[in-house]
Structure 1
Amino acid sequence: MIQRVESISWGRVNIDPPPFDLTDRDKKLIKTLETTHYLTAWQIAQLFWQGNLENAKSRLKRLAKKNQIKKNWLRTGDPLSVAFYSANSTSAVPELQALKIMTGNMIYVRLPEAVREHCSWITRNANPFTASFSMDNEEHYVVVARNYPMEIYNLAFELRWAGDKKILFIAPDEDMLEEAKEFLEPLDLNVLILIDATLISSSI
């Protein structure tokens, strides 16, 4: 018996995409993003790809496309925005705060791997600390200055109650380093002042 066909629907067959399997490195990367909140591709390459930026970018692109992590953009005033990455669970913050946190995370990137694994890194709100961590059985606090009017003065004002906390203070250039010394010295703080560019090639 031949049955009459009332209609024929033409179109694509819906096929579920294959599951996306996370590697052990992917899982460690996501966990690190949950801890540090924001990292650039360069920082991630140093941590997980032995500095191979192209391999890091390739995997980050795939992870972001599969919604395993978030890719964000930082407007810097340049023609091109700067990309950075965060865990899906990380809330958005103002750009200046994100920039300070990423700069402070250079300390994390430059810690020896054995120290990173046990340093209990905590990301803070950048007012004034961007992070704190343990090293050599002592707590350290990270402060980041950017090139903004009254920046050093405001940070010094916030730090006047820091007491004997061990502080790593990151300045953007030599001029602000000297300004930081001028404002922080009278406070008698336990502080080490660094220039952020030196963190690209130096270990803590």
Structure 2
Amino acid sequence: MVGLVLASQSPARLATLRSAGVEPEVIVSGVDESVITDTDPAGLALALAELKARAVADQLTQRPRATPTLVVGCDSVLELDGASYGKPHEPRVAVERWHAMRGNKGVLHTGHFLVKIIDGQQVYAAGRGAATVVHFADLSDAEIEAYVGTGEPLAVAGSFTLDGLGGPFVTGIEGDPHNVVGISLPVLREMIIGAGHSWPELWS
């Protein structure tokens, strides 16, 4: 037996894991993401993922468990025209980003960091990034205002979703669709194998 802890409050990541037969324990890291200042989009995503995973792993090592535990942290960043974009938080910012995104394409980077804990000891740690090219529809000003008005783009990396209201505004992707949602299942599977376990061990 092995337990999986998701160090993320993202409902999309949780839903993705659940749809793949995995029911993780969710522990939100509560870290201050502003302490990471890496300007490289891929490096930023991976550094934030490690920050979250290690924070939760440190909590768990203080209360040892009987079975091995895998802690996975993830973070996503949109690279558009060489710049990095996380969550916009404000409607004005989301509107500005969509004006730049419409009819354009970007790269969604998701960092994954895994920590394995046995008997209160962190015995393994590894990080990997994944990148997926996303093509955006040429939205009208009215569509942008309406979409931002729903509030959905404010709390997601890149100001869009693939699995929600933003789905109709994504015309195509090149790569793993799960990565765009926020966690690449193929990448996570390979990382779990690297930690000495198999994906079926995680099935509920």
| TM-score, normalization by structure 1 | 0.23
The structure with the largest alpha-carbon Rg is 1
| TM-score, normalization by structure 2 | 0.23
More strand by share: 2
* Higher RCO structure (Cα 8 Å, ≥6 apart): 2
